[in-house]
A and B are shown apart, each in its own frame.
Chain A
Amino acid sequence: MGILEIKNVGKRFGGLQALGDVNLSVEENTVHAIIGPNGAGKSTLLNCLVGKLIPDTGSVTFQGQSLLGRKPHEINQMGVSRVFQTPEIFADLTVMENIMIPCFAHRDGAFKMNAFATLRGQNDIKEQAEAILDDVNMLEKRDMHAASLSRGDKRRLEMAMCLVQEPKLLLLDEPTAGMARADTNNTIDLLKEIKEKRDITMAIIEHDMHVVFSMAERITVLAQGTPLVEDTPENIKGHPKVREAYLGEAQV
């Protein structure tokens, strides 16, 4: 029984069957990649996990609890964090404030009416935020406007915002999309480092084979809304069905 169990999930948009009949199990403390060509239903599947979409059929359970019908903030409070394709950060706030927000969410829950507390007095939150900033080598940028960070730093910041909540499951939606090779390698190193330091399960949706094969322990190949194969990276590389569906005929 994996930490995340996806059973018979289907999702239809009008005439388009985005997800057919997806069965997937993500084991605890593994890095599980979900790959597939454009339009395979990767993002739809992810959105079904975080509460943005509700699947038409099937069930999604996290640590034995159903995720269906729960709002994004409820799913996050259960221990599932999400990194977006383009980094979603609080652009108008400082780096430090960006980090403090998830710290508050972790400590105080989804809502707390603390209009007369002062930010300055929150020493535990500050220490926590500084520690994680130090971890991702961004401490010296703590007072910078998040909007003025480089793309790579925005990604680091977003990861730090997720990690400071100590999630059990981290969902990554194409974390290296649109990055130069050097930035991609930095992100891979960052993710590997995160994995080494923490007991964390990661599910990565990715286009870039380089990222997938340098990190993943299990790979599921999705094509036209259904999983084709699920196996270790070594076996996936040579799998004829995968070559056909994903890599294309040309790459022989």
Chain B
Amino acid sequence: MFGLTAKNTRLLFLVIFLVAFAPFLMNPFPSDSAMAQFNAGYPDLMQRFVIFGIFAIGFNILFGLTGYLSFGHAAFLGVGSYAGVWMFKLLGMNVIPAIAASVLVAGLLSVVIGYICLRRSGIYFSILTLAFAQMMFALAASVLTPITGGETGLTLSLSDPRILGAAAVDGNIPVPSFFGLEMRSTYELVLGSWSFSFNTGYYFCAIIMVLAFYASIRIFQSPFGLMLRAIKTNQTRLNYTGLNSRPYTLAAFVISGMYAGLAGGLMVAMDPLAGAERMFWTASGEVVIMTILGGAGTMIGPVLGAGAIKYMENIVSKINKTILEQWFSFMPDGISDVFVTLVYPFIGKGWHLTLGVVFMLVIIFLPGGLVEGGQKIKGLFSRKKPETTPTDGAKTPAE
């Protein structure tokens, strides 16, 4: 269906199902229970799930297919964000021009950066992208302060022109909207002791993510995608087969840069401010980890990886010492203290430790990422060997 193979159609419907029912799936625990802190179904976090999902899907088109590891993709996300905020300042609060500008500006920048960086491959390519991203960060944080707002970030103000809309509504800065449909509006559904939030902004991002995911599947199963996979396995052979690898890698780089710009545009559409820290190299590293954690080169892996990391960042970091003491309170005093002391470094601000441990376990035992884990579980239940379809590339560890 839609020009997809049966397997990929199922995958697309799985993603549609997951994002459509995310407000329910993410809130499995009653809101007054002790487990409620594991609920992730609040609008802000769900928006981040799908936005970073888009970022990782795009990154995977470059890294998963061609094997070119970019360490500077956050630059495109950041530039997209700034472009989006400027559209809000100049044109008006409709999200469509903002998102269009984000994609366009990120695309143009990735043509320039890609053209230069793709002259080298392997580690040299990674270092070049890293250098470029840090230059962009330095520009945003200090040199270009009049355009980017410097370290404080770029925010909206009442004095912005907004030529296509009102500069102010009731003395306040207007909020981003899709032709009048406000992104922040949320409908709360209370069923017994459960409560579920349905947020306009989330569903707007979710629809765009499904479209982005669909486009990525189409790229994966196209002749173009085959050439990108060929570049990853043997670029020499590709060149001696009469194909010019340079425009293929550049096209992949620009497409993934545009995905990053789209993610940046959606971020400001949800919350109209942009800061330079969004472009810092750790942000670029995060999308690399998301993609590898989920399964580089697989279609759904990056989405899972983005979800897993954003979940940990927001949920594990919220657990504090008091909560920990409650958990272990059933134990005798001395022993519970030992457990609290042992677990404490891994929660709250130490969530990066948890992430590190999870990441290491996945890389060592499941080099194909969470997708490989899923295939193994599926294999256990169907009492067959897990599927190793070469087109998924799930078995190919990232290089």
The interface of chain A, by Cβ under 8 A from chain B, is: 50, 71-73, 76-77, 81-82, 84, 88-94, 97, 100-102, 104-106, 108-120, 122, 145, 161, 165
Taken together as a complex, chains A and B put the C-alpha atoms of A80 and B187 apart, in Å, by: 66
Which A residue's beta carbon lies closest to that of B251? A113
Which B residue's beta carbon lies closest to that of A143? B390
- Given A108-B223, A117-B224, 17 extra CB contacts under 8 A: A71-B239, A88-B237, A90-B233, A93-B230, A101-B241, A101-B243, A104-B223, A105-B241, A110-B242, A112-B224, A113-B247, A113-B251, A114-B223, A115-B222, A116-B222, A118-B3, A118-B222
Question: Can you pick out 20 interface pairs between chain A and chain B where the beta carbons lie within 8 Å of each other?
Answer: A73-B239, A73-B243, A84-B240, A90-B233, A91-B233, A92-B390, A93-B230, A97-B390, A101-B226, A104-B226, A104-B227, A105-B242, A108-B223, A113-B224, A115-B225, A117-B222, A118-B221, A120-B221, A145-B390, A161-B237
Q: Which of A81, A91, A101 has the most CB of B within 10 A?
A: A101
Is the beta-carbon distance between B244 and A71 smaller than 8 angstroms? yes
A162 → chain B closest CB, angstroms: 8
- Give chain B interface residues in 87-139, CB to chain A under 8 Å: none
B interface residues, how many (CB within 8 angstroms):
33
Taken together as a complex, chains A and B put the C-alpha atoms of A161 and B237 apart, in Å, by: 10
B67 → chain A closest CB, angstroms: 10
In the complex where A73-B244, A165-B242 touch, is A119 in contact with B226 (Cβ < 8 A)? yes
Give the 8 A-B residue pairs with the shortest CB-CB distance, closest first: A76-B242, A105-B242, A92-B233, A110-B244, A115-B224, A88-B237, A111-B247, A72-B239
**Is B321's CB within 8 Å of the partner chain A?**
no
Is the beta-carbon distance between B396 and A92 smaller than 8 angstroms? yes
B220 → chain A closest CB, angstroms: 10
Q: Which of A71, A90, A161 has the most CB of B within 10 A?
A: A90
Taken together as a complex, chains A and B put the C-alpha atoms of A71 and B242 apart, in Å, by: 9
**Is B234's CB within 8 Å of the partner chain A?**
yes
Which B residue's beta carbon lies closest to that of A147? B233
Q: Which of A71, A91, A118, A161 has the most CB of B within 10 A?
A: A118
Chain B residues contacting A119 (CB-CB under 8 Å) are 221-223, 225-226
A88 → chain B closest CB, angstroms: 4
B248 contact from A50, A82, A111, A120, Cβ within 8 A: A111
Taken together as a complex, chains A and B put the C-alpha atoms of A97 and B239 apart, in Å, by: 16
Taken together as a complex, chains A and B put the C-alpha atoms of A116 and B5 apart, in Å, by: 13
B231 → chain A closest CB, angstroms: 9
A115 contact from B3, B218, B233, B390, Cβ within 8 A: B218
In the complex where A73-B239, A82-B240, A114-B224 touch, is A101 in contact with B230 (Cβ < 8 A)? yes
Chain A residues contacting B230 (CB-CB under 8 Å) are 90, 93, 97, 101
**Is B393's CB within 8 Å of the partner chain A?**
yes
Q: Which of B226, B239, B242, B248 has the most CB of A within 10 A?
A: B242
B234 contact from A90, A112, A116, A120, Cβ within 8 A: A90
Chain A residues contacting B5 (CB-CB under 8 Å) are 120
A77 contact from B222, B242, B247, B248, Cβ within 8 A: B242
Taken together as a complex, chains A and B put the C-alpha atoms of A90 and B245 apart, in Å, by: 14
Chain B residues contacting A91 (CB-CB under 8 Å) are 233-234
Chain A residues contacting B243 (CB-CB under 8 Å) are 73, 101, 104-105, 110-111
Taken together as a complex, chains A and B put the C-alpha atoms of A161 and B224 apart, in Å, by: 18
Chain B residues contacting A73 (CB-CB under 8 Å) are 239-245
Which B residue's beta carbon lies closest to that of A82? B240
Is the beta-carbon distance between A89 and B237 smaller than 8 angstroms? yes
B390 contact from A88, A94, A117, Cβ within 8 A: A94
**Is B315's CB within 8 Å of the partner chain A?**
no
Chain B residues contacting A104 (CB-CB under 8 Å) are 223, 226-227, 243
**Is B184's CB within 8 Å of the partner chain A?**
no
Chain A residues contacting B242 (CB-CB under 8 Å) are 73, 76-77, 102, 105-106, 109-110, 165
Chain B residues contacting A77 (CB-CB under 8 Å) are 242
Taken together as a complex, chains A and B put the C-alpha atoms of A145 and B221 apart, in Å, by: 17
Chain A residues contacting B255 (CB-CB under 8 Å) are 115
B298 → chain A closest CB, angstroms: 13
Chain A residues contacting B229 (CB-CB under 8 Å) are 90, 92-93, 97
In the complex where A91-B233, A93-B390 touch, is A76 in contact with B226 (Cβ < 8 A)? no
**Is B232's CB within 8 Å of the partner chain A?**
yes
Is the beta-carbon distance between B226 and A115 smaller than 8 angstroms? no
Taken together as a complex, chains A and B put the C-alpha atoms of A120 and B226 apart, in Å, by: 12
Chain A residues contacting B221 (CB-CB under 8 Å) are 118-120
Chain B residues contacting A118 (CB-CB under 8 Å) are 3, 218, 221-222
Taken together as a complex, chains A and B put the C-alpha atoms of A43 and B380 apart, in Å, by: 51
Is the beta-carbon distance between A115 and B244 smaller than 8 angstroms? no
Is the beta-carbon distance between B233 and A114 smaller than 8 angstroms? no
**Is B238's CB within 8 Å of the partner chain A?**
yes
A133 → chain B closest CB, angstroms: 16
B297 → chain A closest CB, angstroms: 9
Taken together as a complex, chains A and B put the C-alpha atoms of A11 and B396 apart, in Å, by: 40
- Give chain B interface residues in 195-236, CB to chain A under 8 Å: 218-219, 221-227, 229-230, 232-234, 236
Chain B residues contacting A106 (CB-CB under 8 Å) are 242
- Give chain B interface residues in 359-378, CB to chain A under 8 Å: none
Taken together as a complex, chains A and B put the C-alpha atoms of A73 and B241 apart, in Å, by: 6
Taken together as a complex, chains A and B put the C-alpha atoms of A109 and B223 apart, in Å, by: 13
